[in-house]
Each structure stands twice: as structure tokens, then as C-alpha cells.
Structure 1
């Protein structure tokens, strides 16, 4: 039994580019181009109605670019795979697109035959990168492994107590009363906390305390740990 063709939606703001890609892809019987869009907004609307298997999209487009489109598809239509086809092959672009949820990234300078391989791979749930893009990603991963991992600042027991009080919404006076110290002492610990953690807002300190499990996100203000 012949498998159903892979349904592809093309997204690029240049009609000539879309026609060329469509002509190339449809030479392969395993692929069917079910629609075309000139920007991310139009593409998202078509995704909702056509339910393609793969969205092949450029990055630079008016109204909604490829990055925003990828993020929107991941939120609304997680079964739809996104394959990026772009001139950009620098680390920032590639990592941002991967973080947005794209399954593959092919440079427009790659061999056209690679497009078919890429579409087939991502439709199977695999990742696919053209050679030049893969080198950029690999180099970035190597650099990340070689870089020293940032150490979590070590807080003193008193700094932890002050941090917990801040995260619970207590004032400096309330924290001082709880700990049996002066307000000035609490202020000093607060300043040290901000300098150590590089966090200079109450909201930021609260998020840090919650992330480290020092307080529960739903703890009533002022409740003792």
C-alpha cells in the first residue's frame, strides 16, 4: 500500500522563490504541496485549515516572521513540523529557531535535493540540518561544553532567611522582627543578596527563591517556613 504523500505548506514572501521550491518538491511523488503563504499570519491561518504535515518557511517575512510563526505553531498545532529554509546560518539565528521549536534548518545555499531529504526527515519526527548549519550548531555545543559552568552563589544561612522573608512579601522591619536583628542588618543582607545573585528587584529575588525551592509559589505572605 502506497503511503500518503507528505503534505507541505510553503511560506516565503517572494512568489518566485515559492514557485521554484514547489516545482522542485513536487518532482518527488512522496511530497504534496498543499498551500502557499506570503507571511506568518497567512501561514498560521492556512495551518489551521489545511493541517499540513510540514511547514517549510523562510525567516524574514513581513507581519509575522518565521521565528514567531514557529512559536505559534508549537503552541497551537504541536503535531505540525516546522522546517526552516533561510540564508541565515549564524549561531544566534539557528539557536533561536531551535528554541522556538523548529525540527530542521536548511540553508538556501544547500543542494536543492537536500530539501526533499529534510522534508522527509522532519515528517518522521527526526531533526535535519544541512551541513553548513550543522557545523554551526556543533561548534556552539562544543564551546558550551568547554565553557566553565557558572556556579550558584553560596548564601549564608542569614542571607537565606532574609531571602525567604523577601519572597514571602515581608518588609525589612517584619524580617528584622522575625530574625531578632536590626533593620539595618536586614538591609545589609539584602544588599549582599542582590550583589551576589545579580538580581536587583523584589520580583527577581522572589522568582529565585521559588526556583530554588526556598518558598512555595502559593505560600501565604508572612507564613513561617
Structure 2
């Protein structure tokens, strides 16, 4: 049984070795107790429903459910659980998405050994935490600003369902609809329907247009976008 005198934590990350590293850091502070860990988003949700933890450490890149969507679902269904994102991504777009989805903290994996405990302590007190040069004031201003600033198509992007947004991101990363179906545990026909719907909503005619659009909105890494452009793929 969880110790009621300690703050309970679940860890959702698909890398077992990194989970072990997080656990070793957390165990340095007796105020926290790890009550469960999961390697994907669906298992993470099951743990959250079972333990109703005070804090959840969530990676963005999970093999099934995107960590941003998991954060949003936790905020809606378990609002008392505060999410701290622990991710390899440090781009402002990922940080903005995380806080918009309901995260209280954002820790970059490279600096987890130095910033994790401080982040957990800060979030446990009800404050926002970001382990970079970006101040909490900037984080709050990000939350009050539009989620994305693109070339006039943010409104169209907002019409996509969460699943369509997820399919769009995977398409932009180069996955086929069959690969997306396998990754998201849906049928190929359902994946193709999502693709057709999002292309229609965004008025896009080809995968090339989709990749360009995703790059402008920051949905895919700019470095990958540049590499593809130089290779003549975009």
C-alpha cells in the first residue's frame, strides 16, 4: 500500500534503463514514493486510474499514445494528478504543447539528474517548473498565447481531432498509413480515413504539402525538415 505521508509518483517511459535512472534519483528524497511504472501510454493510464498518484512523470515519445495526449487525458480525468514531462525534446514547440495540454513541469532528459527533484518539489507545491533558461513567467505567457503560430492555418489545425493530429504528425515523420495503424493499434482502413479527413480539413493535396505544413507549425524537427529538403524529398 502507498504511504499516505509521501507524495506518490508513477513513471511512464518506454526505456527501462531510463526509468531505472529516474527511480534512483527520486529515491534520494524520502518525500516521494514511486507506486508504479509503465512502458507505454495505455499502461500509464491504467496505473493512474489504479493509484491516482500525486505526480506523473511522462515522456512525450511513447510507442502508442503520444505523451501530450496522455497529459491532456490525465488533466481531464484525474485533475489532481500533476504531470511533469521528461523528454529528450527541448524545442519551444514541444514545451508549449506540454503546458497547453496541462503539464505542470518540463524536464529535459539530459538534465534530469540535476533538475528532476527540484521540478517535482516545485510542481508538488502547485507551481510551474521548467529546467531551462526560460523563466516561469515566460511559461505562463506561453499558456495564455495561442498554441501554435503558423502562416494563417492554425484555425484549420485546431479543427483536427486529437487522433487526426497524431496521425498527421506520424505522416509528417514519414510513416505509411499501414505503419501508423500498427503503431496506434487501429486498422489500416481507419488510419487511411484519418489521413483523408485531415488532408481535407487542411486543404492539402499531397504528403509533400503535409510535411511542409507540419514543419512550419513545428510539428516535426526543423533539422529533419532541412535534411529532407536538401535531399530533394520535399
Taking structure 1 as reference, are residues 51 and 108 closer, same or farther at Cα in structure 2, changes over 3 Å only? same
Taking the aligned partners of 1:31 and 1:87, their CA distance within structure 2 comes to: 23
Aligned-pair CA distance for 1:132: 4.2
User: If the length of structure 2 is used for normalisation, what is the TM-score?
Assistant: 0.55
Residue 36 of structure 1 corresponds to which residue in structure 2?
37
8 Å Cα contact 1:107/1:132 also seen in 2: no
Residue 132 and residue 66 in structure 1: after superposition, are their counterparts in 2 closer, same or farther (change >3 A)?
farther
Q: Which residue of 1 aligns with 2:78?
A: 77
Displacement, 1:111? 5.1
- Distance in 2 (CA, whole Å) between partners of 1:84 and 1:11 is 10
What is the alpha-carbon root mean square deviation over aligned residues? 2.3
Provide the residue aligned with 2:87 in structure 1. 86
- Where does structure 1 differ by over 2 angstroms across 4 or more consecutive aligned residues? 132-135
Deviation at 1:23, TM superposition (A): 1.1
Q: Which has the larger radius of gyration?
A: 1
> Does 1:121 find its partner at 2:122?
yes
1:73 Cα deviation from its structure 2 partner? 0.2
Matches within 5 A, 1:137-176: 137=138
Contact 1:71 1:100 in 2 (8 A): yes
Contact kept in structure 2, 1:105 and 1:129, CA below 8 Å: yes
Counterpart residue number, 1:15: 16
Question: Which residue of structure 1 lines up, in the alignment, with residue 65 of structure 2?
Answer: 64
Q: Distance in 2 between matches of 1:125 and 1:134?
A: 16
Secondary structure of the structure 1 residue equivalent to 2:35: strand
Shift in alpha-carbon separation, 1:46–1:109, aligned structure 2, 3 A = same
Match of 1:119, SS state, is helix
* Change in CA separation of 1:111 and 1:62 when aligned onto 2, cut-off 3 Å: closer
Equivalence for 1:110: 111
For 2:124 and 2:133, locate their aligned partners in 1 and report how far apart those are by CA, in whole Å.
Answer: 21
Gaps of 5+ in 1: 145-225
- With structure 1 as the length reference, what TM-score do the two structures score? 0.58
CA apart distance, 1:71: 0.7
Query: Equivalent residue of 2:110, what SS?
Result: coil
Aligned length: 140
In the alignment, the residues of structure 2 paired with residue 58 and residue 40 of structure 1 have an alpha-carbon distance, to the nearest angstrom, of 9
Question: Aligned equivalents of 2:47 and 2:125: distance in 1?
Answer: 21
Aligned mates of 1:97, 1:111 — CA distance in 2? 17
Q: Partners in 1 of 2:51 and 2:58 — Cα distance?
A: 16
